[in-house]
Amino acid sequence: MNIYAIRAIYKFEMARMWRTLMQSIAAPVISTSLYFVVFGSAIGSRMGDIDGISYGAFIIPGLVMLSLLMQSISNASFGIYMPKFSGTIYEVLSAPVSYVEVVIGYVGAAATKSVLLGVIILITARLFVPYEVVHPFWMFAFLVLTAITFSLFGFIIGIWADGFEKLQIVPLMIVTPLVFLGGTFYSIDMLPEIWQTITLLNPVVYLISGFRWAFYGVSDVHVGISVGMTLFFLIACMASVWWIFKTGYRLRS
Protein backbone atom coordinates (compact mmCIF):
# COMPACT_ATOMS: atom_id res chain seq x y z
CA MET A 1 0.00 0.00 0.00
CA ASN A 2 1.47 3.33 -1.14
CA ILE A 3 0.69 5.48 1.91
CA TYR A 4 2.52 8.48 0.44
CA ALA A 5 0.29 8.50 -2.64
CA ILE A 6 -2.88 8.20 -0.56
CA ARG A 7 -1.71 11.01 1.71
CA ALA A 8 -0.84 13.26 -1.25
CA ILE A 9 -4.26 12.85 -2.89
CA TYR A 10 -6.03 13.18 0.45
CA LYS A 11 -4.18 16.36 1.46
CA PHE A 12 -4.71 17.91 -1.98
CA GLU A 13 -8.47 17.32 -1.80
CA MET A 14 -8.72 18.55 1.80
CA ALA A 15 -6.77 21.69 0.88
CA ARG A 16 -9.44 22.47 -1.72
CA MET A 17 -12.05 22.46 1.04
CA TRP A 18 -10.12 25.02 3.10
CA ARG A 19 -9.81 27.24 0.02
CA THR A 20 -13.58 27.14 -0.56
CA LEU A 21 -15.00 27.23 2.96
CA MET A 22 -17.99 29.36 1.97
CA GLN A 23 -19.05 26.86 -0.67
CA SER A 24 -18.00 23.65 1.08
CA ILE A 25 -19.10 24.35 4.66
CA ALA A 26 -20.88 27.67 5.16
CA ALA A 27 -23.46 27.35 2.36
CA PRO A 28 -24.74 23.85 3.34
CA VAL A 29 -24.86 24.80 7.03
CA ILE A 30 -26.79 28.00 6.33
CA SER A 31 -29.27 26.31 3.99
CA THR A 32 -29.90 23.50 6.48
CA SER A 33 -30.27 26.03 9.30
CA LEU A 34 -33.12 27.63 7.32
CA TYR A 35 -34.93 24.29 7.41
CA PHE A 36 -34.48 24.19 11.19
CA VAL A 37 -35.86 27.73 11.51
CA VAL A 38 -38.87 27.20 9.23
CA PHE A 39 -39.81 23.58 9.90
CA GLY A 40 -38.27 23.15 13.35
CA SER A 41 -39.03 26.37 15.19
CA ALA A 42 -41.86 28.03 13.23
CA ILE A 43 -43.96 25.17 11.87
CA GLY A 44 -42.75 22.50 14.29
CA SER A 45 -43.99 24.41 17.34
CA ARG A 46 -47.53 24.19 15.93
CA MET A 47 -47.45 20.48 15.09
CA GLY A 48 -47.93 17.48 17.31
CA ASP A 49 -45.33 14.92 18.28
CA ILE A 50 -44.43 12.01 15.99
CA ASP A 51 -43.71 8.73 17.80
CA GLY A 52 -43.37 10.75 21.00
CA ILE A 53 -40.75 13.07 19.46
CA SER A 54 -41.26 16.79 18.86
CA TYR A 55 -41.54 17.59 15.17
CA GLY A 56 -38.49 19.85 15.19
CA ALA A 57 -36.34 17.09 16.66
CA PHE A 58 -37.94 14.43 14.43
CA ILE A 59 -36.75 16.05 11.19
CA ILE A 60 -33.12 16.53 12.30
CA PRO A 61 -31.84 13.09 11.13
CA GLY A 62 -33.46 13.52 7.72
CA LEU A 63 -32.06 17.01 7.20
CA VAL A 64 -28.58 15.92 8.25
CA MET A 65 -28.85 12.97 5.87
CA LEU A 66 -29.93 15.30 3.05
CA SER A 67 -26.82 17.46 3.46
CA LEU A 68 -24.60 14.42 3.97
CA LEU A 69 -25.74 12.69 0.77
CA MET A 70 -25.57 15.81 -1.37
CA GLN A 71 -22.15 16.88 -0.13
CA SER A 72 -20.67 13.37 -0.30
CA ILE A 73 -21.72 13.05 -3.93
CA SER A 74 -20.67 16.60 -4.80
CA ASN A 75 -17.24 16.44 -3.15
CA ALA A 76 -16.28 13.08 -4.63
CA SER A 77 -17.68 13.69 -8.12
CA PHE A 78 -16.01 17.11 -8.47
CA GLY A 79 -12.75 15.78 -7.02
CA ILE A 80 -12.29 13.12 -9.71
CA TYR A 81 -13.95 15.09 -12.53
CA MET A 82 -11.49 17.99 -12.40
CA PRO A 83 -8.43 15.81 -13.17
CA LYS A 84 -10.39 14.38 -16.12
CA PHE A 85 -11.36 17.87 -17.28
CA SER A 86 -7.82 19.25 -16.99
CA GLY A 87 -6.12 16.11 -18.34
CA THR A 88 -4.07 15.48 -15.21
CA ILE A 89 -5.89 12.17 -14.67
CA TYR A 90 -3.34 10.57 -17.01
CA GLU A 91 -0.55 11.47 -14.60
CA VAL A 92 -2.42 9.65 -11.84
CA LEU A 93 -3.10 6.62 -14.04
CA SER A 94 0.53 6.40 -15.17
CA ALA A 95 1.96 6.81 -11.67
CA PRO A 96 2.96 3.73 -9.64
CA VAL A 97 -0.31 3.96 -7.71
CA SER A 98 -3.01 1.29 -7.71
CA TYR A 99 -6.65 2.15 -8.28
CA VAL A 100 -7.36 1.14 -4.67
CA GLU A 101 -5.00 3.85 -3.43
CA VAL A 102 -6.51 6.41 -5.80
CA VAL A 103 -10.01 5.61 -4.59
CA ILE A 104 -8.99 5.69 -0.92
CA GLY A 105 -7.41 9.13 -1.41
CA TYR A 106 -10.33 10.75 -3.24
CA VAL A 107 -13.17 9.00 -1.43
CA GLY A 108 -11.49 9.32 1.96
CA ALA A 109 -11.18 13.10 1.54
CA ALA A 110 -14.78 13.45 0.32
CA ALA A 111 -16.11 11.35 3.20
CA THR A 112 -14.05 13.33 5.73
CA LYS A 113 -15.52 16.61 4.45
CA SER A 114 -19.05 15.20 4.63
CA VAL A 115 -18.66 13.82 8.15
CA LEU A 116 -17.20 17.14 9.30
CA LEU A 117 -20.14 18.95 7.74
CA GLY A 118 -22.62 16.56 9.34
CA VAL A 119 -21.12 17.15 12.79
CA ILE A 120 -21.24 20.93 12.29
CA ILE A 121 -24.91 20.73 11.25
CA LEU A 122 -25.73 18.64 14.33
CA ILE A 123 -24.05 21.23 16.54
CA THR A 124 -25.89 24.03 14.73
CA ALA A 125 -29.22 22.24 15.16
CA ARG A 126 -28.82 22.62 18.93
CA LEU A 127 -29.26 26.38 18.49
CA PHE A 128 -32.77 25.87 17.11
CA VAL A 129 -34.14 22.55 18.35
CA PRO A 130 -33.37 20.56 21.52
CA TYR A 131 -32.65 16.89 20.86
CA GLU A 132 -30.94 13.87 22.40
CA VAL A 133 -28.92 11.04 20.86
CA VAL A 134 -29.84 7.66 22.36
CA HIS A 135 -27.11 5.70 20.55
CA PRO A 136 -24.20 8.10 19.87
CA PHE A 137 -21.86 5.33 18.69
CA TRP A 138 -24.33 4.06 16.11
CA MET A 139 -25.21 7.60 15.10
CA PHE A 140 -21.59 8.30 14.24
CA ALA A 141 -21.22 4.88 12.63
CA PHE A 142 -24.21 5.57 10.35
CA LEU A 143 -22.77 9.00 9.58
CA VAL A 144 -19.40 7.59 8.52
CA LEU A 145 -20.82 4.57 6.65
CA THR A 146 -23.25 6.74 4.68
CA ALA A 147 -20.55 9.30 3.88
CA ILE A 148 -18.20 6.62 2.54
CA THR A 149 -20.94 4.91 0.54
CA PHE A 150 -22.20 8.05 -1.18
CA SER A 151 -18.69 9.40 -1.69
CA LEU A 152 -18.05 6.22 -3.68
CA PHE A 153 -21.29 6.86 -5.55
CA GLY A 154 -20.17 10.42 -6.26
CA PHE A 155 -16.79 9.13 -7.46
CA ILE A 156 -18.63 6.98 -10.00
CA ILE A 157 -20.73 9.97 -11.13
CA GLY A 158 -17.57 12.05 -11.54
CA ILE A 159 -16.08 9.43 -13.84
CA TRP A 160 -19.33 9.00 -15.76
CA ALA A 161 -19.93 12.72 -16.29
CA ASP A 162 -18.52 14.29 -19.44
CA GLY A 163 -19.68 17.82 -18.59
CA PHE A 164 -20.23 20.00 -15.52
CA GLU A 165 -23.99 19.87 -15.94
CA LYS A 166 -23.99 16.09 -15.57
CA LEU A 167 -22.38 16.39 -12.14
CA GLN A 168 -25.65 17.92 -10.90
CA ILE A 169 -28.19 15.73 -12.70
CA VAL A 170 -28.16 12.79 -10.28
CA PRO A 171 -27.97 14.81 -7.01
CA LEU A 172 -30.70 17.29 -8.01
CA MET A 173 -33.01 15.14 -10.12
CA ILE A 174 -32.77 11.82 -8.28
CA VAL A 175 -31.16 12.02 -4.82
CA THR A 176 -32.95 15.14 -3.54
CA PRO A 177 -36.48 13.90 -4.42
CA LEU A 178 -35.69 10.50 -2.90
CA VAL A 179 -34.60 12.16 0.34
CA PHE A 180 -37.70 14.35 0.56
CA LEU A 181 -39.91 11.33 -0.18
CA GLY A 182 -37.90 9.09 2.16
CA GLY A 183 -39.38 10.19 5.47
CA THR A 184 -37.36 13.33 6.14
CA PHE A 185 -40.40 15.34 7.23
CA TYR A 186 -42.76 12.54 8.22
CA SER A 187 -42.99 8.93 9.36
CA ILE A 188 -44.00 6.57 6.59
CA ASP A 189 -46.51 5.06 9.05
CA MET A 190 -48.54 8.24 8.48
CA LEU A 191 -49.04 7.30 4.81
CA PRO A 192 -51.85 5.15 3.38
CA GLU A 193 -50.92 1.47 3.24
CA ILE A 194 -50.38 1.41 -0.53
CA TRP A 195 -47.99 4.39 -0.30
CA GLN A 196 -46.13 2.77 2.57
CA THR A 197 -45.40 -0.20 0.33
CA ILE A 198 -44.30 2.05 -2.55
CA THR A 199 -42.12 4.14 -0.22
CA LEU A 200 -40.22 1.05 0.87
CA LEU A 201 -38.85 0.86 -2.67
CA ASN A 202 -37.00 4.10 -1.95
CA PRO A 203 -33.48 3.16 -0.72
CA VAL A 204 -33.08 6.46 1.14
CA VAL A 205 -35.89 5.42 3.51
CA TYR A 206 -33.57 2.85 5.07
CA LEU A 207 -30.78 5.38 5.55
CA ILE A 208 -32.99 7.97 7.24
CA SER A 209 -34.80 5.35 9.30
CA GLY A 210 -31.57 3.83 10.62
CA PHE A 211 -30.12 7.25 11.36
CA ARG A 212 -33.30 8.29 13.21
CA TRP A 213 -33.15 5.08 15.26
CA ALA A 214 -29.66 6.05 16.41
CA PHE A 215 -31.07 9.36 17.65
CA TYR A 216 -34.34 8.37 19.28
CA GLY A 217 -34.58 4.58 19.28
CA VAL A 218 -37.55 4.60 16.86
CA SER A 219 -37.54 3.79 13.15
CA ASP A 220 -39.86 3.07 10.25
CA VAL A 221 -38.00 -0.14 9.34
CA HIS A 222 -35.85 -2.47 11.41
CA VAL A 223 -32.38 -1.08 12.00
CA GLY A 224 -30.81 -4.34 10.80
CA ILE A 225 -32.47 -3.89 7.42
CA SER A 226 -31.20 -0.30 7.30
CA VAL A 227 -27.62 -1.43 7.90
CA GLY A 228 -27.99 -4.26 5.40
CA MET A 229 -29.29 -1.94 2.66
CA THR A 230 -26.47 0.54 3.27
CA LEU A 231 -23.84 -2.20 3.11
CA PHE A 232 -25.45 -3.61 -0.05
CA PHE A 233 -25.21 -0.22 -1.76
CA LEU A 234 -21.61 0.15 -0.53
CA ILE A 235 -20.65 -3.21 -2.02
CA ALA A 236 -22.43 -2.34 -5.29
CA CYS A 237 -20.47 0.93 -5.52
CA MET A 238 -17.17 -0.85 -4.78
CA ALA A 239 -17.92 -3.39 -7.51
CA SER A 240 -18.72 -0.58 -9.95
CA VAL A 241 -15.45 1.23 -9.17
CA TRP A 242 -13.51 -2.03 -9.65
CA TRP A 243 -15.16 -2.49 -13.07
CA ILE A 244 -14.42 1.10 -14.08
CA PHE A 245 -10.70 0.77 -13.39
CA LYS A 246 -10.54 -2.71 -14.88
CA THR A 247 -12.10 -1.60 -18.17
CA GLY A 248 -10.84 1.99 -18.18
CA TYR A 249 -14.38 3.27 -18.67
CA ARG A 250 -14.18 7.01 -19.45
CA LEU A 251 -10.68 7.15 -17.97
CA ARG A 252 -8.55 6.27 -20.97
CA SER A 253 -10.58 8.03 -23.65
Region of poorest pLDDT, from 80-94, 115-129, 202-216, 217-231: 80-94
Digit-coded pLDDT (tens) for 218-236: 999 999 999 999 999 999 9
The C-alpha R_g of the chain, in whole angstroms, comes to 19
> DSSP letters along 26-87, please?
IHHHHHHHHHIIIIIIIIGGGS--BTTB-HHHHTHHHHHHHHHHHHHHHHHHHHHHHHHHHT
The pTM of this model reads 0.91
Residue pLDDT, tens place only, 157-171: 999 988 888 888 888
Instruction: Determine the pLDDT at residue 22.
Output: 80
When pLDDT is cut at 50, 70 and 90, the band that residue 109 belongs to is very high
* Span 40-51, average pLDDT: 72
Q: Which residues of 124-160 are buried (b: 16+ CB within 10 A; e: fewer)?
A: ebeebbebeeeeeebbbebbebbbbbbbbbbbbbbbb
**Predicted pLDDT at 253:** 59
pLDDT-based confidence at residue 135 (cuts at 50, 70, 90): very high
pLDDT score at 33: 86
